[in-house]
């Protein structure tokens, strides 16, 4: 009798926990935004540790901080798994697999140092968060969302390539010299400046340079489009599904359906 009586309580607690985690993940009320801000600060601190890794890796506290971050990321993964509608939905999210790779590099830093460059991808997750959108809107920069995201995407790509070049070609250089050389090479290659004073050896190095130039130019074009293109809001048309409309649109351009786009009354 006691076991059956406790089942509804256990189910209720599980449901409440899921609702709270979902609210923290995507809520727009002040309570949820405070939690999101706290998590964003922790994420930025983790990113700072990742970027300073080349300078800190010889210190005695490096592995301690490394494993503490691993515990934190494992906890985040568990929380997101609980909040997800299903495990299949959780598994389909790109950040799930990125965080799993990051967790593996933290747990086995010596064996998987070649994949450490993926850690910068957490910046991409911050730029796609609800908190980021709300901050931009409250700061009066809602119309700059596409431009800011394009800039962040470019920076993420820049540091991902820098990390890959560093761990693959310059990891053995002392201190931060190797990381600076990798960053210098990446910027020169992405901008197609090509000074030629630092080059990557072998076939892998040449292919890395080619991929960096192609994707880098594409991101430059995407950034230019975001700057030049007229601002549009994301509001799916209930009739035809068109995602983007002018901020003051009354009718959908594709099907003519009457829209009710919310605004701040500005």
3-state secondary structure (DSSP) of residue 129: coil
Segment 186-214 mean pLDDT: 84
* Alpha carbon distance 119, 45 (integer Å): 12
Map out the domains of the chain as residue ranges: 1-140, 146-229, 235-266
Which tokens belong to 65? 């901080």
State CA 207 to chain mean position distance: 26
Residues forming beta bridges with residue 246, ordered by sequence position: 232
207-218: b or e for each residue (b if 16 or more CB lie within 10 Å)? ebbeebeeebee
Residue from 126, 165, 138, 117 nearest 264 by CA: 138
Confidence band, pLDDT 50/70/90 cuts, at residue 1: very low
Q: What is the pLDDT of residues 69-115, one digit of tens each?
A: 888 888 888 888 888 888 888 888 878 888 888 888 888 877 776 66
Mean pLDDT of the chain: 77
Q: How open is the CA angle 209-210-213, to the nearest 5 degrees? A: 85
Residue 155 near residue 123, CB atoms below 8 Å: yes
For residue 57, the model assigns a pLDDT of 66
Confidence band, pLDDT 50/70/90 cuts, at residue 266: very low
CATH node for 146-229: 1.10.287.70
Segment 29-40 mean pLDDT: 81
Q: How open is the CA angle 91-95-96, to the nearest 5 degrees? A: 35
DSSP tag of 113: G
3-state secondary structure (DSSP) of residue 181: helix
| Dihedral in degrees, nearest 10, Cα atoms 96, 102, 107, 113 | 150
* Alpha carbon distance 190, 210 (integer Å): 10
Residues forming beta bridges with residue 234, ordered by sequence position: 244
Q: Does residue 38 carry a pLDDT above 60?
A: yes
User: pTM, whole model, 2 decimals?
Assistant: 0.64
* Alpha carbon distance 148, 203 (integer Å): 35
């Amino acid at each position: 009798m006691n076991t059956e009586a406790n089942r509804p309580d256990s189910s209720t607690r599980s449901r409440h926990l899921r609702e709270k985690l979902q609210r923290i993940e995507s809520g727009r009320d002040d309570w949820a935004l405070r939690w999101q801000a706290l998590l964003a600060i922790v994420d930025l601190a983790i990113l700072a540790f990742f970027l300073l890794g080349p300078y800190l890796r010889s210190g005695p506290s490096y592995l301690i901080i490394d494993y503490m971050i691993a515990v934190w990321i494992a906890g985040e993964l568990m929380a997101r798994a609980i909040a997800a509608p299903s495990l299949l939905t959780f598994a389909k999210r790109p950040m799930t697999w990125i965080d799993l790779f990051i967790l593996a590099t933290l747990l086995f830093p010596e064996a998987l140092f070649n994949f450490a460059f993926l850690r910068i991808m957490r910046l991409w997750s911050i730029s796609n968060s609800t908190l980021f959108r709300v901050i931009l809107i409250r700061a009066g920069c809602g119309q700059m969302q596409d431009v800011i995201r394009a800039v962040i995407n470019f920076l993420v790509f820049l540091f991902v390539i820098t990390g890959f070049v560093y761990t693959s070609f310059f990891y053995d250089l002392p201190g931060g010299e190797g990381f600076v050389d990798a960053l210098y090479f990446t910027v020169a290659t992405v901008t197609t400046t090509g000074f030629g004073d630092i080059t990557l050896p072998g076939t892998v190095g040449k292919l890395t340079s080619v991929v960096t130039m192609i994707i880098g130019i594409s991101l430059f074009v995407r950034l230019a489009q975001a700057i030049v293109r007229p601002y549009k809001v994301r509001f799916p048309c209930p009739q035809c599904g068109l995602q983007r409309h002018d901020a003051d649109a009354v009718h959908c351009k594709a099907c003519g359906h009457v829209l009710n786009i919310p605004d701040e009354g500005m």
